[in-house]
Amino acid sequence: MLNLGLSRRSLLSLAKVAHVSSTVATKTTARTVTGLHLVRHALQKQSSQGLHSSTSFWHPRKPRNAHGGGNLRNHFGNYTRLAPTSLRLGVVPPDVNGLVPDHIQKPGYALRGEPSEWAAGIPINGPEDIEKCRHAGQLAKKILELGGTLVKPGVSTNEIDRILHEAIIANKAYPSPLNYMGFPKSVCTSVSNVIAHGIPDNRCLEDGDIINIDVTVYLDGFHGDTSATYLVGNVDKPGKELVERTKEALDEAIAICRPGVPLNRIGKTIQAIADRHGYTVSEQFSGHGIGKEFHCLPLIYHHDNDEDGTMEKGMVFTIEPMFCQGTAVGVQWPDKWTVATADGGRSAQFEHTIVITDNGAERLTG
């Protein structure tokens, strides 16, 4: 849980967590960490407000897949829209002892499911810690690239999760999402209209899908976090453009990073690109510090904001913008993890872990 003695930025992140209503998806000012901790922590408190209208909210038509959605042909494009398959609340926590060998070094939350309290300040990493972050980041990159080779019609997200889990273990690392606040899988797979925290399952990818694979590994006491959105088969022009512009936003945001630059310039840079191309930016999730902890300060907001703080050499954090075709308001599914767009429009995300250097930023996962 969050320590109430943390800094204003950390407290605001909890206070602004997305409010999910069973009858209406109202725009919030939520600004939560894109990682699993803050969203899960706050949503636990509102389990009674979970989504109860499920598929009727999206008005699905022509059901085609195990998610009860259908082909969506409108100004958003041509793709299969996902919807919940069950109103059952929550998920069953994983059996970490059965999934991860004893010789693999595990983060403190691995067995108990609860992460440690946040430190009050932003960690400034020295050369040794940065090198360990780099090693973890490069492994995360390798695993993500493997995931990209698996993306094709007919492959289930469960299969992607299984193969990536085995690859992480083979590299003597721990899959950071596994049992983080009870998350049941080793990676997140967010398909088409899912903004974030999609749980791998038996649904097979279909021609025209887009999928974000989010990989974090824990290696030698440090986490490395990265994600990318991939095209499945023949994706329509609006889908391809959404993916391209989201990647462009990440690249441009990293390009402005250097010591002395306000942290809020990241969000201003990303917002300007989204506005230029007619997209919205999810405000329900944010980038975050990372290293010895999966999530820590600073919080990195991807929308236009006036938050305090400047970049300093040695800061390590993620930037992970999420662009949406229509509304960026997200609705939480009954599983208490998956967050999908309220209007069924597609969402794309790209992410890198970076370190601030003497005169710029290094992509630790690049």
For CA atoms 238, 239, 242, 244, give the dihedral sign. Answer: negative
Tens digit of pLDDT at every position of the chain (366 positions): 222 223 333 333 333 333 333 333 333 333 333 344 333 333 333 332 232 222 223 333 233 334 545 555 567 999 999 999 889 999 999 999 999 999 999 999 999 999 888 888 999 999 999 999 999 999 999 999 999 999 999 999 999 999 999 999 999 999 999 999 999 999 999 999 999 999 999 999 999 999 999 999 999 999 999 999 999 999 999 999 999 999 999 999 999 999 999 999 999 999 999 999 999 999 999 999 999 999 999 999 999 999 999 999 999 999 999 999 999 999 999 999 999 999 999 999 999 999 999 999 999 999
225 belongs to an annotated ligand binding site: yes
295 belongs to an annotated ligand binding site: yes
207 belongs to an annotated ligand binding site: no
Query: Rounded to whole angstroms, how far apart are CA atoms 172 and 174?
Result: 7
67 belongs to an annotated ligand binding site: no
351 belongs to an annotated ligand binding site: yes
Query: Rounded to whole angstroms, how far apart are CA atoms 136 and 291?
Result: 9
Q: Please state the CATH superfamily assignment of the domain spanning residues 26-44+122-363 in this structure.
A: Creatinase/methionine aminopeptidase superfamily (3.90.230.10)
283 belongs to an annotated ligand binding site: no
Confirm whether pTM is higher than 0.85: no
Phi, psi of 167 (to 5 degrees): -70, -40
Beta carbons of 226 and 187 less than 8 angstroms apart: no
**Helix, strand, coil % in the chain, rounded to nearest 5:** 30, 20, 50
Query: Rounded to whole angstroms, how far apart are CA atoms 160 and 74?
Result: 30
Query: Rounded to whole angstroms, how far apart are CA atoms 344 and 57?
Result: 9
52 belongs to an annotated ligand binding site: no
